[in-house]
């Protein structure tokens, strides 16, 4: 989750431009952990304790890079985590992040990204498995205020209903929305709702894993997101 951001132009996803590509982007929905916040190192520092507590396979240091090349579902399967445990793990992690929010920082480009995106008039929403309180604490008051709507507490594979709630609340059709995350499950959820999907390359999943999910665009740096949105605003 904590790889260094690299400057480059946004790359179109392997799947090519979707049917909605001619429509303007009026809403951008961000994932949080691994997309806006650099929580990867913190998560790795607690994963062994989680493995003991919830009885799944611990992650050796030399396995981290290998797992980055697998899809979200493949990682869960590799670690031997039963699906019924996922909500329990998520709740535990939210509480733990709440106690340690001061240890988690935003990626360097996040503040400018939110400020400049908001200035364009595009609406911004946040859909995350983390809690709203944790997200606001890590963002800080100034940056948190730039998020127009929060839909938090999603289950690991439960972003679809959250996405639909955001679209209904914001009054923006899926075809005019871009969802941005750092994992393959983010792409899958966006596709199910009919939104364009963007993947950042500074988060958890590797570029190869994300390319296999076929997002509409992959972003190497925050400026690439701004450029992509600007190109789809006319």
Per-residue pLDDT of the chain (234 residues; tens, 9 = 90+): 333 233 233 444 444 334 355 789 999 999 999 999 998 888 888 888 989 999 998 888 888 888 888 877 888 888 888 888 888 888 898 999 989 999 999 999 999 999 999 999 999 999 999 999 999 999 999 999 999 999 998 776 789 999 999 999 999 999 999 999 999 999 999 999 999 999 999 998 999 999 999 999 999 999 999 999 999 986
d(CA 182, CA 176): 20
Average pLDDT over all residues of the chain:
87
**DSSP helix/strand/coil, 30:** strand
d(CA 61, CA 123): 39
pLDDT at residue 157, as a whole number = 73
Extents of the domains making up the chain? 11-38+105-231, 40-103
- Non-local CB neighbours of 233 within 8 Å, separated by 6+ positions: 24, 25, 120, 122
How, if at all, do strands 105-106 and 37-38 pair?
A: antiparallel
Angle between helical axes of 86-100 and 40-54 (0-180°, round to 10): 130
> Does domain 11-38+105-231 fall into CATH 3.40.50.1000?
yes
- The pTM (predicted TM-score) of the whole model is 0.86
At 142 the three-state DSSP class reads helix
């Amino acid at each position: 989750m904590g790889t260094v951001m690299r400057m480059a132009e946004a790359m179109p996803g392997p799947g090519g431009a979707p049917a909605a590509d001619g429509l303007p982007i009026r809403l951008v929905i961000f994932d949080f952990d691994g997309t806006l916040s650099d929580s990867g190192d913190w998560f790795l520092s607690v994963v062994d304790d989680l493995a003991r507590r919830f009885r799944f396979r611990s992650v050796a240091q030399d396995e981290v890079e290998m797992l980055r090349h697998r899809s979200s579902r493949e990682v869960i399967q590799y670690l031997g985590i039963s699906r019924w445990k996922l909500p329990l793990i998520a709740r535990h992690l939210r509480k733990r992040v709440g106690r340690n929010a001061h240890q988690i920082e935003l990626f360097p480009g996040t503040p400018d990204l939110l400020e400049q995106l908001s200035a364009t008039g595009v609406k911004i929403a946040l859909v995350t498995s983390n809690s709203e309180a944790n997200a606001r604490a890590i963002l800080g008051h100034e940056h948190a205020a730039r998020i127009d709507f929060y839909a938090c507490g999603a289950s690991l594979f439960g972003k679809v209903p959250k996405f639909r709630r955001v679209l209904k609340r914001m009054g923006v059709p899926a075809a005019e929305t871009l969802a941005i995350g750092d994992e393959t499950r983010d792409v899958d959820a966006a596709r199910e709702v009919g939104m364009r999907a963007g993947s950042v390359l500074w988060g958890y999943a590797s570029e190869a894993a994300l390319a296999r999910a076929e997002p509409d665009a992959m972003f190497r740096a925050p400026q690439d997101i701004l450029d992509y949105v600007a190109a789809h605003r006319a």
